[in-house]
Amino acid sequence: MTNTVTAANARRAIYDDDHEDFRDSFRRFLAKEIVPHFEEWERDGIVPREFYALAGANGFLGMQAPEEYGGAGVGDDFRFNAIITEETCAAGLGGFALGIGLHNDVCLPYFLDYCNEEQKQRWLPGIVSGELITAIAMTEPGTGSDLAGIRTKAIKQNDGSYLMDGAKTFITNGINADLIVTAAKTDPTERHRGLSIFVIERDTPGFERGRNLEKVGMHSQDTAELFFDSARVPAENLLRSEGDGFKCLVSNLAQERLSIALTGVAVAEAALAATVTYVGERCAFGQPIAANQVVRHMLADCRAEIDCAQAFVDQCTRELGERTLTPERAASAKLICTELQGRVTDRCVQLHGGYGYMTEYAVGRMYADARVSRIYGGANEIMKEIISKGMGVG
């Protein structure tokens, strides 16, 4: 499987020698520190906190953070993030891939772009080291992709602090998280303009976590409900100013959706690699399954579709680094690659036969993990709305 992925990467001009050295280092880290424990984490439903610290100690967290906060200072170069996604997916580490991707790709930009200097000094070193695990809390019971419909309230008090009341659900890293980027209404009479962003810390009075939710897939990824019952949030935990929340959330969605797209095509690549190996070894009716033309053609369809999606995602990755990636392009990438992820993993399970439905085979887990990718980060139906509006339709 790894050899096939590496061969595909060799044909791509997006990476230079520094990136490939980083890939080799991260691949060795996964093989030594993560892969031996992953089955246990899948059973336990959570990745132990110390493995984030281990990733941070090896330089695999917060690469974009400036060196004065402990980061690698790679600036807008998202290709290092892409490599982490590709290698975790190639190793079949779905739950760990989601958690580290959320920390690096989705949460870190809020701390880099919207924190003042005091907040950066307070939080960034721990984010980079893995001592502080991050999450983002937007989704609420009854409120999915409609950010303006958020009902959690944060009302300013006479002493300048805020009292937050409400609930969030489906929060990735929700059990492990120390810092939770949380959207709340500071002016409940407004929709978009009433939304603000706060960082909720682990020990915030009035903040509680619910249970670790049981999911169809992504079993090793902790996903929780969060509750705020007059949770007292210090004024210094507000990001930017009141009312800036919607602007902040929307400006970061392009990178989040590209991250999901990268995962989609990387999982498809890994599933295809595993299946090519399987059909070459598995025999039926006296010959390898790969001897059947229908099998070869199914695999050829997967190969062609993955290559096209990969080329588009690589271009979007370049555009993100150049700060020219538009919301419409990111939505297209998310739509195309997550639909591809679903199709390819489904075909690969079919070609594995009954074994593909067993969790001991990587494609079975990939298939179960894949389904949520068409929902989170904005449901794919919302992606179509974004794309069509960008075309001037409707």
Give strand ranges (E) for the chain. 134-137, 153-156, 162-172, 179-185, 195-201, 207-212, 223-233, 238-239, 283-284, 287-288
CB 238 within 8 A of CB 119: no
Tally the residues of the chain.
394
d(CA 171, CA 227): 11
Residues 6+ apart with CB under 8 A from 369: 94, 95, 217, 218, 267
Closest CA to 245 of 188, 330, 161, 324: 188
Nearest-angstrom CA–CA distance, 89 and 266: 6
Backbone angles phi, psi at 358, to 5 degrees: -95, 135
Q: Say if CB 314 and CB 355 are below 8 A apart.
A: no
361 by Cβ neighbours in 10 Å (0-12 / 13-18 / 19+) ranks as buried
Which residues touch 327 (CB under 8 Å, ≥6 apart)? 250, 253, 254, 386, 390
| Those residues with Cβ within 8 angstroms of residue 158's Cβ, 6 or more apart along the chain or in another chain | none
Query: How far is Cα 283 from Cα 46, in angstroms, rounded to an integer?
Result: 37
381 is catalytic: no
Q: Are 271 and 348 in contact (CB under 8 A)?
A: yes
User: What gap in Å lies between CA 377 and CA 381, rounded to an integer?
Assistant: 11
Nearest to 63 by CA among 83, 33, 35: 83
Q: What token pair was written down for 188?
A: 């409940």
The DSSP call for residue 290 is G
Question: Annotated catalytic residue: which of 87, 256, 305, 319?
Answer: 256
- Active site amino acids: 256
